[in-house]
Amino acid sequence: MPYTTIAAPAPLVSIERLRVEFKIDGTTVVGVEDVSFAIRPGETVCVVGESGSGKSVTSLSLMRLVEFGGGSITGGSLRFARASGEVIDVTKASPEEMRSIRGNEIGMIFQEPMTSLNPVFTIERQLTDGLKVHKGLSGEAAHAKALELLQSVRIPEPERRLKQYPHELSGGMRQRVVIAMAMACEPRLLIADEPTTALDVTIQAEILGLIDRLKRENNMAVLFITHDMAVVAQMADRVVVMYRGNIVEEGPVNEIFETPREDYTRALLAAVPKLGAMTGKAAPEPMPIMGATAAPIVEATQAAVRAPRVLLEVKNLTTRFPIKGGPLRLTTANVHAVEDVSFSVNVGETLALVGESGCGKSTTGRSILRLIEAHSGSVTLDGWDVRALRAADLRRARRDMQMVFQDPFASLNPYMRLRDQVSEPLINFAIASGSALDDMVADLFDRVELPRAFMRRFPHELSGGQRQRVAIARALATSPKLIVADEAVSALDVSVRAQILNLMMQLQRDLGLSFLFISHDMAVVERVSHHIGVMYLGRIVELGTRADVFENPSHPYTRTLLAAVPIADPRQRRLHDDRSFRAIASPVFPVGHMPAPSTYDEVSPGHFVLQQQN
């Protein structure tokens, strides 16, 4: 009997010789030069490459959103097979056709959740609008569907979250809302632009499982854009590698990882930090850099070895947020965001805080800097009693403590040129003026690997990774003693992330800088940290040296975190059905609730594990 060949399904999306240009300061900048690839129903195509390679521009072109960012499609075609069977060229579609496609047949998860959510509308309003327009649901049916969507992306207390506004949610929760919005109308194509950037490893594992399950159940195609090669290994059927607006390599995921043909692809894979690479090593080491062997950073911890000196001391820090309700807006409950947290950071060392989205890591960092007022506890920074300082003294103390925020677009002023934003702290603290100011700003741009020509640009003219580098340059401007880095490198591609982290370690060695490093990337945390605090529901559940926590994890939650880290090997896929994950506990307690104090067992010298709470 002769063999029959089963033809591959017709492409859902065919991108052919796409070219996208931007007009910047009167000159033409090519964002995408010549890109062609296809996506079939039920297939996940991962597009990878460095910041500025054209990944996001390609995806925005499919939605014709690139035009709203100053870009124009100047060549090629974008063919999309609609549910009706009609194949249209998106580049020639009318505004009415695009409105019926966006959010309905093509869903998109954007890279920066705070800027893709409307700050003046509740979460429910933003979820139900698309359901009413595209699906014709009534108010009650749309509410029920919105509740179901929040449950599907595992947001705790979904009924209450529907009534909240974006600023009331953590970064990870906002990202999950954006994912729920993209999934709302069960699109034929889901474009996921860095969808797990703001998520910790456990929630990331759930979201990846969720996307994979929905893909299989609905035969949905996924265009997945990321700089995380471990996520690519877990998700991709095919991989497209981009560099400077062009495709340098394309192929099945196993071939790309095992037999990459291009030097750039090999360098991209070699630069991925691997969990366990620091086993048996006493001090942080430089990150691997694409195409180069990083010189060892010697004496990185000598100051700590010679004479450990505490720079930051946090004792019994507690931060709560009131929940108000009723006609008189009385406090009905409290969110126990940070509960009885204590730790210290030595001069010239890095302490990392890790944990799930909403566990209190970012609130801890903001409470230390008094960007949020704590409920109780003490914070001492190099002799300053931070919580007792008056406004003038607090302003002086803040020269010694700076913060790099999670969302670079939200932390940069969209109306100011980048030079003015980086020079602002230098002017405010009277550090420099005139030509000296210009020289210092230029040097800061050099330090974070940005061209000096970028000083004249505005934030919207940069990629997400480039914007984060500007935010880091601004934090370095005052030569602080402590930097609170809140997911400071989560938006950066592997090569730039390595450069920035190596820069931080170099500055730590040269200047004695200390870092409170808040991150969900366990491989990065293992590489750069001296000590680690694992947080869960507002408390530190395990605290110790890097070796203590990674080589001898003693709390069940720490072991869960480490088990969820994706592996950069497509033959070791660990995608889980997202419905099998444990329920997320709530940090909300009634007024008057008195939680038990945090008590610890010292399992080895300096290694503390939280005792079971009743």
Q: What is the pLDDT of residue 300?
A: 41
The rounded Cα 389 to chain-centroid distance in angstroms is 32
Superfamily of domain 305-400+520-614: P-loop containing nucleotide triphosphate hydrolases (3.40.50.300)
Closest CA to 150 of 138, 159, 141, 142: 159
How far apart CA 443 and CA 421 sit, in angstroms, is 14
Residue 7 clears pLDDT 80, i.e. is over it: no
**pLDDT for 598 beyond 60:** yes
Per-residue tokens: 604: 């080895």
Determine the pLDDT at residue 583. Answer: 55
Is the alpha carbon torsion for 150, 156, 157, 162 positive or negative? negative
Task: For residues 116 and 110, give the distance between their C-alpha atoms in angstroms, rounded to a whole number.
Answer: 7
CATH class (in words) of the domain with range 8-105+188-272: alpha beta
DSSP 66: G
Q: Quickly list H helices, 401-514.
A: 408-411, 418-428, 434-447, 464-476, 494-511
pLDDT digits (tens, 9 = 90+) for 427-485: 998 898 899 999 999 999 988 888 999 999 999 888 777 888 898 889 989 989 999 99
- How much is the pLDDT for 604? 94
Q: Which residues of 445-462 are buried (b: 16+ CB within 10 A; e: fewer)?
A: bebbebeeebbebebebb
Sign of CA dihedral 242, 293, 229, 542: negative
CA 275, 278, 283, 288 dihedral sign is negative
Mean pLDDT of the chain: 86
Greater model confidence, 495 or 514? 514
Per-residue pLDDT reduced to its tens digit, 217-259: 888 999 999 878 888 999 999 999 999 999 999 999 999 999 9
Q: How confident is the model at residue 614 (pLDDT cuts 50, 70, 90)?
A: low
pLDDT of residue 81: 93
| 409-481+490-508 is a CATH 3.40.50.300 domain | yes
pLDDT of 307: 59
Q: List pLDDT tens digits, range 77-127.
A: 999 999 888 999 999 999 999 988 988 899 998 877 767 889 999 999 999
Could you read off the pLDDT of 293-334 as tens digits, one per residue?
Answer: 444 444 444 444 455 789 999 999 999 999 887 788 888 899
Distance of alpha carbon 141 from alpha carbon 378, whole angstroms: 48
Q: Where are the domains of the chain?
A: 8-105+188-272, 112-184, 305-400+520-614, 409-481+490-508
Helices (H) and strands (E) in the chain, counts: 22, 23
CA angle 190, 191, 197 (to 5 degrees): 120
Which pLDDT does position 472 carry in this prediction?
85
3-state SS, residue 38: strand
Note the pTM of the prediction, 2 decimals: 0.77
Q: What is the DSSP string of 365-418?
A: HHHHTTSS--SEEEEEETTEEGGG--HHHHHHHTTSEEEE-S-HHHHS-TTS-H
